[in-house]
Amino acid sequence: MSVILPFLALLLAAGFAAYHRLRLAVWAAITASLLVAGWLLGANATASVVAAIIVALVTVPLVLPQLRKPFITTPLLDFYTKLLPPLSDTERTALESGTVGFEGELFSGKPAWNQLLDLPKPQLTAEEQAFLDGPCETLCRMTDDWDITHVRADLPPELWEYIKRNKFFGLNIPKEYGGLGFSALMNHKVIQKLASISSVVSSTVGVPNSLGPAELLMHYGTEGQKQQYLPRLADGREVPCFALTGPFAGSDATSIPDYGIVCEGEWNGAKVLGIRLTLNKRYITLAPVATLIGVAFRMYDPDGLLGDTRDIGISLALVPRDTPGLEIGRRHFPLNSPFQNGPIHGKDVFVPLSQLIGGEDYAGQGWRMLMECLSIGRSITLPSTASGGSKMGAVAVGSYARIRKQFGLSVGRFEGVEEALARIGGNAYACSALSEATAAAVARGENPAVPSTIAKYHCTEMGRKVSLDCMDILGGKGIILGPRNFAGRSYQAAPIAITVEGANIMTRSLMIFGQGAILCHPWVMKEMKAAQLEDPKARIDQFDTALFGHIGYAISNAVRSWWYGLTGSKVGSAPGDDDTRRYFRKLNRYSAALAVMADTSMLLLGGKLKFKESLSGRLGDVLSQLYIASAMLKRHQDQGAPAGDQPLLAYAFHDAVNKIETALSGALRNFPIRPVGWLLWLVIFPWGRRAQAPSDRLGHKVASLLMTPCDARERLATGVFTTPGEYNPAGRIVSYLPKVVMAEPVERKFLKALKNSDIEALEFDAQLDEGVREGWITAEERKQLEELRAITLDAIMVDDFDPAELRSAGYATLHGQAPAPRAAA
């Protein structure tokens, strides 16, 4: 035993120092102290000397830069340079275009939770709240989604006029240029509310306020361009669109075949230097009605009119609709969701150089401009749309599940329906937190490249799952389209959000971890930049600092991951209250595990990692769920940690950590170098996988919460349009829930008495008459049951049509018929 003690002391000191991230010299001092103490207490002297020699051999060359840099750092730099995958200009631009916020802590293995929790609570200004409660509420009341999606396949003229007059297209345009000057958070709130009544309206408002001419002009436009266009965009005199995607350039936008040749041409009667464009674009939202088109193209100067560069690169220009050679106006029809979307074609479309966004100085800078602005748009429009639909689905379908009865029970009481309701509640809670967190990051001035891809992918995926579960619960009510149906169009449109602004398959497998591993990692970007320095001394010095910081970080995360796995994340410092502290500890564990997996993958696979898309996708899932769980905990604190929200938070959190372990398990079981995968399994899962999907008991609590009027349900519904009205069947159903709950005891009493009686009346009114005469119910209770019957009928009824009503307005026009009027709801 005395022989083992010195080596045991060495290992314990190393583990302690690594866990707490102490400096190497501190580890050496702690180890030396333990060895001396052990020797005094009778440890074997020879073993103690051997252990001391080991410590010296490790410490001396690493602590002394005179030895470390020439004999260790320089050879490793040479090896690293060979290992480092070549970065194209496109990839480098994408990596350098974003900022890093709290998501960077999730790669640290030891997140600084106070950095997250101390962020200001996202709040609207009084002016923003007034707009949300005023014009935005009014727009929701005016919106008849059935009229939009079936009768007109467009917004009615009065909605277009109202949107323009109230500057919905200028939410984020500064006031000095005629806009409303609202924050990104307000943009999120508006889109979320509109999406809860109509995704066509939310898309129509969302696109001009995300990636488009206005956003690009605000960041890069010349003062003249801003003065000319921003006021007209804000009040709707100009309707914008942005033409990026084409038949041969979708997710791979850098392969744009559309081109512009620098040449002389005529513009407004004068001969000027400009670009002659040839373009073929498709899937362009608002294109059919746009008056100002932003175009991405590759710019060439074959005659050297601007200088020696022939291939100038991707550039962005503003093209008025009436420019000769531009063909625009036809429409696509995306899955029965008739937001304005269509192709744009152009041949020999001449515009002057002054139409380049930012002017001639920004020629060739288009890809960087797009990357810097795309994350802002991706952070808001699609996640907010998914959040609005999910939250509305949760409260409306929860109400429906209480109102709708089968076999004498509310359908929400059946365990199969409870499972679906619980998934709806958990996904809506997570989606809401994620979309708000990412919008709040933009509002703080960040350019959240990685969170925007996480939000786009996971919000749209959660929104799709919510729509599917809603349809399963609604049954026939969901599949019969008409004015009474509030879920069918959302279900049909769900794949659209999955596809646009970066297809989800590509986003998950290439972008989330691909960008996150470099941008968010505390050392990787520093190593890459150091390795590319021209000055040899600066190159060695900076690489030395980054490399050994990285090595210490990797060792620490391996120890922390193993320790948290060994102890089940039950020990360790963490913020939070008695309910949430254990959640933060679990996230500490998975942060360390992600860091270990990322470092190992990058070290052993090098440039091949970006082709291992399944591995990248799974590690991206880990990063994503860490970010989603963090967003939920942050919002829970911001709301005052309400006890009533615990079932929703617990369900969503356990779902997240179960997905984390599923992703880690898949990555380890399929790691390309199998022995490394086995070893990492012992580090990350020393006792095997422990996380489980949310329990049935927890799911029952969430389902009951959605079917019961309560504060937690009201908080979940915050920000969506629940005002009952002729055009808002979901809002009517939501408003019925308190009355239904109050009437249930009377209904049970009446039905029990009716069942035990010999009354032969079959009509409901006659049964009520008998009930009053027999004294089962009072006259007031009769009115309550009559109201309950009317409520139930309105909730469960579906529409039917004269065949002529199902003919579209377009069909009627083409065949010389007047379109049939809409049937009353």
Q: Decide if pLDDT at 278 tops 70.
A: yes
In 3D, which of 825, 824, 820 has the Cα closest to residue 805? 820
Query: Interhelix angle for 366-403 vs 779-796, to 10°?
Result: 140
Tokens linked to 731: 């809002």
Q: Decide if pLDDT at 785 tops 90.
A: yes
Q: What is the pLDDT of residues 687-731, one digit of tens each?
A: 999 999 999 999 999 999 999 999 999 999 999 999 999 999 999
Tokens linked to 664: 């880690």
Better-predicted residue by pLDDT, 262 or 100: 262
The H-or-E segment that residue 320 falls in is strand 311-320
Q: What is the rounded distance in angstroms from the CA atom of residue 486 to the CA atom of residue 573?
A: 47
CB 698 within 8 A of CB 380: no
Q: What is the pLDDT of residues 450-460, one digit of tens each?
A: 999 999 999 99
Tokens linked to 462: 């959660």
Residue 670: the pLDDT is 96
Per-residue confidence band for 87, with pLDDT thresholds at 50, 70 and 90:
low
Residue 98: the pLDDT is 77
Three-state DSSP class for residue 296: strand
Q: Decide if pLDDT at 804 tops 50.
A: yes
Residue 812: the pLDDT is 63
Per-residue confidence band for 28, with pLDDT thresholds at 50, 70 and 90:
confident
Q: Decide if pLDDT at 744 tops 90.
A: yes
Residue 818: the pLDDT is 56
Parallel, antiparallel or unpaired: strands 311-320 and 292-300: antiparallel
Which ranges of 475-535 does DSSP label H, i.e. alpha helix? 476-479, 488-499, 504-506, 513-519, 524-531
The H-or-E segment that residue 92 falls in is helix 89-96
Tokens linked to 698: 């927890």
Q: Which amino acid is at 587?
A: L
Better-predicted residue by pLDDT, 529 or 365: 365
* C-alpha 525 chain-centroid distance: 24
Q: What is the pLDDT of residues 208-218, one digit of tens each?
A: 998 789 999 99
Residue 372: the pLDDT is 78
Residue 523: the pLDDT is 84
Count CA atoms closer than 13 A to 81's CA, side-chain side: 13
Q: Decide if pLDDT at 819 tops 60.
A: no
Long-range contact pairs involving 227-230 (C-beta distance under 8 Å, separation at least 24): 227/177, 229/292, 229/318, 230/170, 230/173, 230/174, 230/177, 230/178, 230/179
Per-residue confidence band for 158, with pLDDT thresholds at 50, 70 and 90:
very high
Range scoring the smallest mean pLDDT among 505-514, 517-526, 557-566: 517-526
Q: What is the rounded distance in angstroms from the CA atom of residue 341 to the CA atom of residue 284?
A: 5
Residue 808: the pLDDT is 67
In percent, how much of the chain has pLDDT > 90? 68
CB 508 within 8 A of CB 617: yes
Range scoring the smallest mean pLDDT among 41-50, 267-276, 581-590: 41-50
Read off the pLDDT of each residue in 663-670 and give the average, rounded to a whole number: 96
Q: Decide if pLDDT at 562 tops 90.
A: yes
Residue 92: the pLDDT is 65
501 is catalytic: yes
Non-local (6+) Cβ contacts of 254 within 8 A are 90, 314, 367
Tokens linked to 100: 């890093």
Non-local (6+) Cβ contacts of 459 within 8 A are 382, 383, 386, 387, 431, 434, 435
Residue 265: the pLDDT is 93
Termini Cα distance of the chain: 86
Whole-number mean pLDDT of the chain?
A: 91
Q: What is the rounded distance in angstroms from the CA atom of residue 543 to the CA atom of residue 528?
A: 8
Q: What is the rounded distance in angstroms from the CA atom of residue 798 to the CA atom of residue 787?
A: 19
Non-local (6+) Cβ contacts of 691 within 8 A are 654, 657, 658, 660, 661
Residue 203 CB burial class (10 angstroms; 0-12, 13-18, ≥19): buried
In 3D, which of 700, 102, 202, 98 has the Cα closest to residue 489? 202
Tokens linked to 818: 């007047």
Q: Decide if pLDDT at 825 tops 50.
A: no
Per-residue exposure over 775-797, b if at least 16 CB sit within 10 Å of its own CB, e if not: ebbeeebbebbeebeebbebbbe
Per-residue confidence band for 89, with pLDDT thresholds at 50, 70 and 90:
low
Phi, psi (deg, nearest 5) at residue 460: -70, -35
Q: What is the pLDDT of residues 386-432, one digit of tens each?
A: 999 999 999 999 999 999 999 889 999 999 999 999 999 999 999 99
Q: Name the catalytic one among 501, 661, 747, 781.
A: 501
CB 152 within 8 A of CB 339: no
Residue 629 carries which DSSP code? H
Per-residue confidence band for 88, with pLDDT thresholds at 50, 70 and 90:
low
Read off the pLDDT of each residue in 605-627 and give the average, rounded to a whole number: 91
Counts of helices then strands in the chain (DSSP H, E): 34, 9
Tokens linked to 727: 């055009």
Residue 106: the pLDDT is 93
Q: Decide if pLDDT at 821 tops 70.
A: no
Count CA atoms closer than 13 A to 350's CA, side-chain side: 13
Q: Decide if pLDDT at 377 tops 80.
A: no
Which ranges of 292-414 does DSSP label H, i.e. alpha helix? 366-403
Residue 571: the pLDDT is 83
Read off the pLDDT of each residue in 50-59 and give the average, rounded to a whole number: 82
Residue 310: the pLDDT is 94
Read off the pLDDT of each residue in 163-187 and give the average, rounded to a whole number: 97
